[in-house]
Amino acid sequence: MSKGSFPRVTRRPGGIRRPVVVAVAALVPAGLAGWLLWDAEADGGKKAPVAAASSASPGGSPSSQAPSRQPSPSDGKPSASGPSAPGSPAPGSPAPPSASPAAADDGPLPDGPLKGKVVLVDPGHNIRNSEHTTEINRSVDIGTGRKECDTTGTSTDAGYAEATFSLDVAHRIRTLLRAQGAKVVFTHDGERPYGPCVDERAAIGNQAHADAAVSVHADGSAVGNRGFHVILPASVKGGRADTSPIVGPSKDLGVRIAGHFVRSTGSAPSNYIGGGTGLDTRGDLGGLNLSTVPKVFIECGNMRDPQDAALLTDGAWRQKAAQGIADGITDFLDG
């Protein structure tokens, strides 16, 4: 397998970029390449995706041993079972926690290219959500309607939970970004009994005045559905939601993360969502609808496909995934 070339964007004095096309080539078997292309425009250096292709399956390394845990019932991203309690918690259940970030890793930050930048990292779901079905099933306002507070997430067939995966990758991202001087804020760090709810996840990024935010996930689709995709906020306005200020910068963030993810992991864009682009736009996610800072979700692969699961459960691959996400964030903040 061979890696494609990745010419770097050169800059004129004053930070203006020369027009250049960057091709991001995936490492895939049998000579099949998946790629994303951008056109770097001179007016401000903004990049727009101009092509993407190939749903070729990435190669993988053997799975590491997964922790013992029964898989969640799955239709992709399952809600916990049990009666819903719209509006507010059922009588006698704990009130939802107030919006506050997880205990921050606030040690001294080194000088680096991201000094002064704030990044919100949102590890998807919570390993203990299944123990708090009443709390996570209650509905919350997502701006354009109501949706459950959170879900249990999915898992591999061997029981490796999405919540475990997302928190592990989030820790790796934090280490990489802090080494460049960025302050990294988590929505949670495994310390909470459940959640946080999707509206609180958005609020934490907003209150931190994050320069960029990413929510880390893995999908739960059918066997044979492979690859990653980045979810971008749709243009949504209604109730508490108005994404118009963040749609453009979020797309910029998303395409840069997608490109660097391909380069770092060798994974191809999803062959079942996004038409081979690795990008999907949605208006039904409270974590995006309620965000006032540039934000995207990334589904790093499909936990229900054995080949993707072998990657997602491999520590060395998770480090590559974290590197790709961190590099995409850095590219966006440095742009």
User: Which residues are identified as catalytic?
Assistant: 299
Cα distance between residue 136 and residue 83, in whole Å: 11
DSSP state of 311: H
CA atoms within 13 A on the CB side of 184: 27
Tokens of 256: 């840069």
Strands 35-40 and 20-25: antiparallel
Region of residue 173 (left: phi > 0; alpha: psi -120 to 50; beta: else): alpha
Strands 212-219 and 295-302: parallel
Which residue is associated with the tokens 């704990």? Answer: 94
Partners of 120 in the beta sheet?
Answer: 185, 213
Q: Which residues contact 278 (CB under 8 A, 6 or more apart)?
A: 34, 36, 52, 227, 228, 229, 230, 258, 261, 262, 269, 270
Cα distance between residue 266 and residue 320, in whole Å: 9
Helix (H, G, I), strand (E, B) or coil at 309: helix
